[in-house]
Structure 1
Amino acid sequence: MENARTAARDRDTEGRARNARPRDGLGRPLPYGTQGVERQPEGVVRTPAETVAEAQALLDAGKPFHAHEVFEDAWKSGPEEQRALWRGLAQLAVGLTHAARGNVTGGARLLRRGAGAVEEWAAGSGERRPFGMDVEGLARWARELAGRVEGGGSGGGSVEAGAEAPRLRGTP
């Protein structure tokens, strides 16, 4: 029997709780009826090259929250030996999301955690450029951004996500 609380919850086609509120480019919920940014579909299985390309396009468009969802799909559907890499990349994207939202502590923490995760994965796997990605450059970018975000004042605090987006494969 449904009570008033569960009856009002948004559900997906499988009956799982899923907030249907529209969201902005940084994943923040907007009021019902507001035009939001189209959400990334969940559970999409992509090749690693497709994952990197889709995530880079979203990062470049200033949508790191949505890029995080692409990385999360790869983390959850990919081979076990790659999951830590994709999870670390998702942490980098959500760290940028928090930094762009003005969450200094959370953004810096997730950027550093993601940097450590991708470096640890690279060291353990022996791969320095998985799927063409510049792991060392990404870790450097994340730590530098975390420091600037924490620095506050001029150039610190909240950042513009599109302008700060990393180049997953290094410089073009």
Structure 2
Amino acid sequence: MSEASGGNGRGRDRDAEGRARSARPRDGLGRPLPYGAAGVARQPEGVVRTPGETVREAQRLLDAGMPFHAHEVFEDAWKSGPDGERELWQGLAQLAVGLTHAARGNATGGARLLRRGAGRAGGYAEGGGETYGLDVPGLVAWAGELAGRVERGAAPPDAAAEAPRLTGDLG
């Protein structure tokens, strides 16, 4: 990344195509850290994966307590996949970012995104399309339970401990 002058007279981080993109390191929940601090590696953008690869990579990130990064994996799937699967992948991305916000202590935003994601993905629970082995009913139930807890004022969840099982298996 390079520094380019922004409209406010200060340097602004830009990617190779000139788009604004912060070069600040991020923590596992995607929060920016000071320049020079040790952060976690970012997910590369625009990676085209098979649905199975998407689910495996997102689960790995969720299990590691990095739901923000899992959201980016799901975002790649909705941008590169068939239009008919857009709601599924967008819903999963919203579930991941809902967990991110809840873990950051943003109960209102976290609950809203969890419920929105469950609504989007939930259509696939009743034969609304290919689910690639995803436990959509289980994810919808997980999202509703977590949203309810954070709305009632529970402590912010530990992202790794609260990570959902995407496929419902234990392995």
The bucket for the TM-score relative to the shorter chain is: over 0.9
- Deviation of 1:83 (Å): 0.8
- Is contact 1:99-1:107 (8 Å) kept? yes
Gaps of 5+ in 1: none
Aligned to 2:14, the other structure's residue is in SS state coil
Number of residue pairs matched? 166
Instruction: Tell me how far apart the structure 2 counterparts of residues 4 and 146 of structure 1 sit (CA, whole Å).
Output: 39
Change beyond 3 A, Cα 1:122–1:36: same
Question: Percent identity over the alignment?
Answer: 72
The alpha-carbon deviation at position 123 of structure 1 amounts to 3.9
The answer as to 2:140 corresponding to 1:139 is yes
The alpha carbon displacement at 1:151 in A equals 1.5
Query: CA offset at residue 43 of structure 1?
Result: 0.4
In structure 2, what is the equivalent of residue 150 of structure 1? 151
Which structure shows the higher helix fraction? 1
**TM-score, normalised with respect to structure 1:** 0.92
Match status 1:109 vs 2:99? no
The superposition leaves residues 144-165 of structure 1 with CA deviations (integer Å, 9 ceiling, x where unpaired) of: 001111122xxx1311000000
Moved over 2 A (4+): 2-7, 120-127
Q: Deviations over 1:34-75 (max 9, x none)?
A: 011100000000000000000000000000000000000001
Match of 1:98 in 2: 101
Residues in 2 aligned to 1:6 and 1:123: alpha-carbon distance in whole angstroms: 53
Which protein has the bigger strand share? 2
Structure 1 vs Structure 2 CA RMSD: 1.5
2:82 to 79, 84, 96: 79
Gaps of 5+ in 2: none
Match of 1:165 among 160, 163, 166: 163
The 3 A distance-change label for structure 1 pair 50 and 112 is: same
Check 1:143–1:5 CA distance in 2 against 1; reply closer, same or farther (3 A cut): same
Contact 1:150 1:157 in 2 (8 A): no
